[in-house]
Structure 1
Amino acid sequence: MEYRNLGKTNIKVSRICFGSLTMGPLQANLPIETGANIIKYAYERGINFLDTAELYDNYEYIKEALKTIPREKYIIATKSYSYSEETAEKSLLNALQKLETDYIDIFLLHEQESEHTIRGHYEAIEYFLKAKEKGLIRAFGISTHRVSAVLDSLKFKEIEVIHPIINKFGLGIQDGSSEEMIDAIRKAYEKGIGIYGMKPLGGGHLINRVEEAFEYVKNIPYLHSIAIGMQSIDEVDANISLLEKGNIPKYLKERLGKKTRRLIVQDWCIGCGKCVKTCKHGGIEIVEGKARAVTDKCIFCGYCAAVCPEFCIKVI
């Protein structure tokens, strides 16, 4: 496994980051022990970097895995929508307590859109910077689906890490193309910011072109690491093979090829529209009083499921 320093943070991460969203309640909802064992297997194969978020509600998996993974050798990035000192403190304490750890390696503000949203969350940023001084976090940054947020983040010296969406066809980029995102990432990289990309397979839409899609992001020189969702041992092996060999063994491809990702809306949906307001990709709509996936726009993140008051949405 190849490792790179994450910008100027002095944090060394594996080229593959374990995307943990897919194993948790918003998607596969694996048993805790099963998910923890996949995390541990990935670590044994060299993946020392994991991405999570408060929204994912999956800290229990990571806590269980950390019972055998040496904490000082494992890099954890988490995210929250904190906007004030109070919400930032709540999110950080929640992560520390649920993970049973003394520090978080990287804490990000989730889904930032521009200079305006960053400034609107500045009270939370100030709290996280104080937490960094106390050793409770090691680095601070943002995640985003927008080119504008990557560029605007360069105005803030406090931002050390950026977690942007990037894939060959620009799926999920809300305000530009892949080329525009790469140019923004390059500018951040040249300033010494740590960058790890997300959604290299476009939330699952590029699974049928997985080798081509992964090769594209692997060859972007400005990405220190690539976060990709994993919910099985086979997926861990496949992703490592993509990184190291550029392909997936035939037997693995056949097993994984049987799986397709779908967004399911149960019959008891009341059509409240909270999912539509949450989705910034236009990936879900209300038709005849019920929610329905917009198949060519949904990136299967499951964020809509997190806000559904009737618990009727799930990514499988």
Structure 2
Amino acid sequence: MNQVKLGLWGPAVSEICFGSLAISPLQGRVTAAQGTEVLKYALEQGIDWIDTAEIYGNYTQIAQATRNHPQARIVSKSYAVTAEEMRKSLEKARSELNRDVLDFFLLHEQESALTLKGHSGAWEELLRAKEKGLVRWIGISTHAVEGVRAGALQPGLDVIHPILNHQGLGIIDGSLEDMLSALSFASEIGIGVYAMKVFGGGHLSQDPQKAMDFIKKISSVQAMALGMSSQDEVDYDLLLVSGQEIPGNLREKVKHKPRKLYIADWCVGCGRCQEACPQNALHVEKIAVVDQEACVLCGYCGRVCPHFCLKIV
């Protein structure tokens, strides 16, 4: 597995980061036990870091999978706004991941300088945690060009996790060119960058090599998080990122099946999912309605539905 340096201050990590959303309860593609086995297999194949978030609800799953892989690095993220909320998020992660020191911790889904200002209490707590040695590297995740630009200038920030793919799907402001320009600036000043939604939430999965090659050619991006929910998908992605030929039988096993967001008919139209959607892919008529082209299958809407109406199928 090719190793890359994550920015000027970050560690050397594998070119692929295991995106654990795909094995989490938030997406429900596999059971917790199945997901743990997939993650263990990925670690055995040389993938040495894992992306998660507090809302994924899979800290204990990751702790179990990494029990025999203490060298594996873990990235987590939190929506914490205040210092107190961030302290609770950090302690929850340390306790449930069974880690005295957290490798990476990010503010989740920052959109601009304004949202970062609104989360200043949480950011200051991250800085304090870093000074105390409780967290090694800190940063943000974002679906926005302005999030990247503001994050790059945030004091003490080490890493940015942006949405990025060759069609610019999921970027909530600006164009793909704007995003590439912002990432170039971040990289030039030493920020580590690892991309998310390389396959556009499945919309670009019909030509995965094109999607992969696009990311690999961007000098300002060092790595990428890929969601994998089977051992075959791990094997497939490792061959894909290395540029090796993928056997026909493996290609058939991993044939990307179209997925979509399903909304059950008992939806009451409360609108909570619409408020939670970072892509503005949901609106309410009598019930919630999804724009499948805009949806990137993050599953964040499902976590706020009080009636469990939303599911990725």
Aligned-partner residue type, residue 169 of structure 1:
Q
Percentage of identical aligned residues: 44
User: Is 1:145–1:173's contact at 8 Å kept on the other side of the alignment?
Assistant: yes
Matches within 5 A, 1:1-316: 1-69=1-69, 71=70, 73-245=71-243, 248-257=246-255, 259-287=257-285, 289-316=286-313
Q: Distance in 2 between matches of 1:12 and 1:257?
A: 31
Question: How far off its partner does 1:160 sit?
Answer: 1.0
Q: Distance in 2 between matches of 1:226 and 1:275?
A: 27
Change (3 A) 1:10 1:152: closer
| Paired residue secondary structure (2:76) | strand
| Paired residue secondary structure (1:127) | helix
User: Is 2:23–2:35's contact at 8 Å kept on the other side of the alignment?
Assistant: yes
User: Is 1:18–1:227's contact at 8 Å kept on the other side of the alignment?
Assistant: yes
Question: How far off its partner does 1:83 sit?
Answer: 0.9
Structure 1, unpaired ranges of 5+? none
TM-score normalised according to structure 1 size: 0.96
Count of equivalent residues: 313
User: Is 1:28–1:231's contact at 8 Å kept on the other side of the alignment?
Assistant: no
Aligned-partner residue type, residue 46 of structure 1:
G
- Deviation string, structure 1 residues 62-88 (Cα, Å, up to 9, x no partner): 01102221x2x2111000011111100
Question: How far off its partner does 1:257 sit?
Answer: 1.8
Aligned-partner residue type, residue 160 of structure 1:
D
Q: Distance in 1 between matches of 2:202 and 2:265?
A: 24
Q: Distance in 1 between matches of 2:290 and 2:247?
A: 32
| Paired residue secondary structure (1:282) | coil
Q: Any runs of at least 4 consecutive aligned residues in structure 1 with deviations exceeding 2 A, and if so which?
A: 28-33, 246-249
User: Is 1:271–1:286's contact at 8 Å kept on the other side of the alignment?
Assistant: yes
Q: Distance in 1 between matches of 2:28 and 2:234?
A: 15
Question: How far off its partner does 1:246 sit?
Answer: 5.4
Question: How far off its partner does 1:119 sit?
Answer: 1.4
- Deviation string, structure 1 residues 131-171 (Cα, Å, up to 9, x no partner): 11222110110000001111122322211110001000000
- Deviation string, structure 1 residues 99-143 (Cα, Å, up to 9, x no partner): 111121110000001111111111111111111122211011000
Structure 2, unpaired ranges of 5+? none
| Paired residue secondary structure (1:7) | coil
